[in-house]
Amino acid sequence: MVATVRPARAENGRRDLMDIAIDCFARYGYQGTSIDRIAKAAGVTKGAIYHHFKDKEELLFDAVKTRVGQFERRVASDLTPVDDAAQALQEVTRVCLEHATRSNHRRFIVTLMVEALDTNARLSAEFRDMMIRFRAFLRSIIELGQKRGAFRGDVNAATAAGVYAAAVMGAEIQYYQDPETIDLEESLGMFVEQFLMWLRRPSPRAARRK
Amino acid sequence: MVATVRPARAENGRRDLMDIAIDCFARYGYQGTSIDRIAKAAGVTKGAIYHHFKDKEELLFDAVKTRVGQFERRVASDLTPVDDAAQALQEVTRVCLEHATRSNHRRFIVTLMVEALDTNARLSAEFRDMMIRFRAFLRSIIELGQKRGAFRGDVNAATAAGVYAAAVMGAEIQYYQDPETIDLEESLGMFVEQFLMWLRRPSPRAARRK
């Protein structure tokens, strides 16, 4: 057992530093967060940080991967196994709402994702893959609903997944910009209502067959 | 007439500089664009730029106001007078699609809007007002449709306007991030289809009355 203590402890130290770093990034932005600031917030030396991470970008990159992974595992575990596709789609917005309003980490991820578009190709590719996975997950739910006959079969599930992801992201950004005006829960609820009403409609072909 | 030539020319010079500046901002980002770079691109001295604008932030601020104003006037003129509310909502997405794909200016506005959230309170307030105006415009179309009986009357038009604005913005961001995967025209078309199907539905109260 003794042999495993050291790596486990090192892993914890790394994880703790990452949590503190992402708190700093979320609060002061990437530009406003120095390794020095993170070290002070963590109560460690700058050397201790450089022991775990090459530089600030590496730390940001790992922090983003970690947070995104946590969000994806959370969504997947809350929703597995998917039985009722419509209920699962409602559940995804519930998790998004919780993440958007509970801490500033989700805001950090979304704003950084847009900022990275034109400033950091490597980070932007990571976010692109995150969105591809999110849309693939939504698509699989929609296709399950189609297979089970709950959703109309004549719509492109991939495009529909993109519409869903777009509406959630856009609502979040409006909420971050104007929390006094935008009721995120009401907005997401209204969108899902529209989306499900449209998906549940019988396909024109099925209607014609009758 | 002579008296008006000089101010008109100065106004043109200012407008030309702004067009060139926003091209630079869109191409190299705010951080990557210096007054020097704008001056070189415009073929003028730095002094000529400082004659019109206090500093880079002032130039950015004016450029954003100008571009947003152009977009809003374009939407308003394409859509006035609004007669058919459903057709008007389809038309708004058509203008958004055109602006998102024709030049990189719309991308610049959207990415800068998100970036400004945590970095520039004054610019962020300007973007917030822009979104408030956009939602108010959409809301007025929805309310017109409700008044004329084309849309169900039991939905909150302000929230619905927010859902519409969110879906368009989110679709745009996904397209900027991943133009190979996202078909923006198809995405926007599918969203408007859902939105109108939902809005056109008779209200539960009206259905109950029958």
**Model confidence band, residue B120 (pLDDT cutoffs 50, 70, 90):** confident
Q: What pLDDT score does A205 carry?
A: 56
Q: Do A166 and B162 make contact, defined as CB atoms within 8 angstroms?
A: no
Q: Do A115 and B110 make contact, defined as CB atoms within 8 angstroms?
A: no
pLDDT of residue A191 exceeding 80, the answer is yes
Q: Helices (H) and strands (E) in chain B — how many of each? A: 10, 0
Q: What pLDDT score does B11 carry?
A: 63
Q: Do A187 and B29 make contact, defined as CB atoms within 8 angstroms?
A: no
- Least confident range from A7-16, A138-147, A180-189, B126-135: namely A7-16
**What's the mean pLDDT in A40-69?**
89
**Model confidence band, residue A159 (pLDDT cutoffs 50, 70, 90):** very high
**What's the mean pLDDT in A55-59?**
89
ipTM: 0.85
- Residues B67 and A139: their CA atoms lie apart, in Å, by 36
Q: B118 or A183: whose pLDDT is higher?
A: A183
Sign of CA dihedral B28, B34, B37, B42: positive
Q: A152 or A208: whose pLDDT is higher?
A: A152
From the list B115, B124, B190, the residue facing A163 with the nearest CB is B190
pLDDT above 70 coverage of chain A, percent: 90
- Residues B203 and B206: their CA atoms lie apart, in Å, by 5
Burial tier of B5 (Cβ tally within 10 Å: 0-12, 13-18, 19+) = exposed
- Candidates A114, A132, A196: best to mutate against B (most CBs of B within 10 A) is A114
> Which among A34, A33, A62 has a CA at the least distance from the CA of A123?
A62
From the list B163, B177, B193, the residue facing A167 with the nearest CB is B163
**What's the mean pLDDT in B139-154?**
95
Q: Quickly tell me which residue has 């947070």 as its tokens.
A: A67
Tens digits of residue pLDDT in B7-53: 445 566 888 888 899 888 888 877 788 999 999 999 999 999 999 99
- Residues B38 and B45: their CA atoms lie apart, in Å, by 9
Q: What pLDDT score does A73 carry?
A: 85
